[in-house]
Structure formats: structure tokens, C-alpha cells
Amino acid sequence: MCIFLLGTAGSGKSTTVKALARYLEEEGFSYATVNLDPGAEYLPYKPGYDVRRKVTVRKLMIEKGLGPNSAQIEALKIVSDMIWSFMPEDDVEYCLIDTPGQLEIFAFTSIGPAVTSTIAERHRSAALFLVDATQTASLAEMVFMISMAKAVELRLGIPSIPVVNKSDLLSDEDKRKVEILLSFETEKLKKLIPEETAGIIADIAIGLAEVLSQYRLAARIVSISALNNTGIAEVFDLINETACVCGDLT
């Protein structure tokens, strides 16, 4: 099972890879870690397979005179063309794939879909879409982020599990909002969103909530703290459900 870690910059993808790997190690599962970010300067885990051994953003910037974003795109094109050289040859139960920090470069260019479709042809695949709980101050913003998770799921063509990360840093009030989001009861969201957000933003958020309730996400939303290793077992429960056609993902 290949698990892609997705999310906006700073959402905790690499820290979550570390937490997932620790859980698999403790539970006795075989696994591999893969870093697909050619621009990473530091990782909190030691990847078994690392694209930086072949190409780095910094090197392309120096050699070709590219800006950081152009170098990232160029590097990922190289990665995409030789993706199997960065994947484990041994048969492991789980392969954790850390993606670039800039979500749009991976998910909203042709590169990401090419990588995920190539890997999904050989291996069952799913994604964890991380939402930084500390950067979503309102229910409307949370709905916008879950909408992005759905857009990325459709774009990449693999099931995506929305994961609210950094729950340990939330105030009691923000934890209450996350609980409301986790239940994703549309009528409750329609009532509560206008209480804290006004105007067209509230209207759009409510409309998106209704769309999401109609075109369900691939899995329930789960809250974790990758730093404190809380909620990790539930994440794997949902991952395993996505691999089962009879799994109730609503």
C-alpha cells in the first residue's frame, strides 16, 4: 500500500511520515519511506529512498540559473521520468511517500497525476491530505481546506483522507470547531458558519459544504497530532478501509 503525504506548506507532512513510520515499526509492519521533495533541506526522518540523491532544487538553480519554483518543477519532471528508481524494490506492506512542500507544484501541474497514476497501476494507493489546524481560524476556512482536499483527490485520481494535524496546539474553542468539522453535519455547518463569518465568504463556504456532502470525500475526516503521535492508529484504520471495497468511508 502506497501512502502519499499531501498538504500545504508547513502542514506537517514530513513529521507525519516520521509518526507513521514509528507506528508501523512498533506494530511490526514492513515499510519503506520515500522522499519526493528535491527541495527539502532537512527531514525529521531518514528516508530509505530519496530523490535528492539524483537531483536537488539548489543544484538546478546553480547549474541552470533557474528560480526556486522553476527549479522545483524541473526537478520533479526528472523525478517523474525515473520514478521507479526511487521506489522500494522489496515487497513491503506500506510505502510512505513524502511529497514536495509546495502542494500546487505537485498536485496542480501534470507531474503529480503522472506520478500517482504510474504508481497506482502497480500498487494500491491512497493519500493523506494534511490540514494545519493552527492556520484555519474559522469553520469557513476549514471547509475551504477540505474542499481543496477533494479537488486534489480528483486531480490525482487516488482516495484522499483529510487529516487535521497539530490538534495539540488548539485552544478549547478551536477544538470544538474541529469536532464540528469532523462530524461534517451540513445543517449544523449552515447554521454556525454565518455566526462567525459574514457575507460572500460565508455563502461560498456553505455552498461548498453542501457540495462536499453530496460528493462525499473518500474517507471520514480525522484529527491527529503528528508531534505527539495521537490519532495515528485511527489514520491507519481509515487507510485500510480505503483498500476495502466494502469499507464505509462516509
Q: How many separate domains does the chain show?
A: 1
Among candidate residues 242, 248, 231, 240, the one with its CA nearest the CA of residue 164: 231
Within 32-67, residue ranges assigned H as helices are 57-64
Residue 250: inside a domain: no
Residue 180: inside a domain: yes
Which pLDDT does position 89 carry in this prediction?
80
166 torsion bin: left (phi>0), alpha (psi -120 to 50), beta (else): left
Domain CATH number, residue 15? 3.40.50.300
Residue 192: inside a domain: yes
Kind plus residue range of the DSSP H or E element containing 73: helix 68-81
Q: How does pLDDT run across 60-94, given as a tens digit for each residue?
A: 999 999 999 999 999 999 999 999 998 988 789 99
Task: Tell me the pLDDT band of 249, cut-offs 50, 70 and 90.
Answer: very low
And the C-alpha cell for 57?
532544487
Q: Contact, 182 vs 221, CB < 8 A?
A: yes
Q: How does pLDDT run across 139-183, given as a tens digit for each residue?
A: 999 999 999 999 999 999 999 999 999 999 988 888 888 888 888
Kind plus residue range of the DSSP H or E element containing 209: helix 199-214
And the C-alpha cell for 95?
510505502
With 90 as the cut, is the pLDDT of residue 11 above it?
yes
Owning domain of residue 165? 2-242
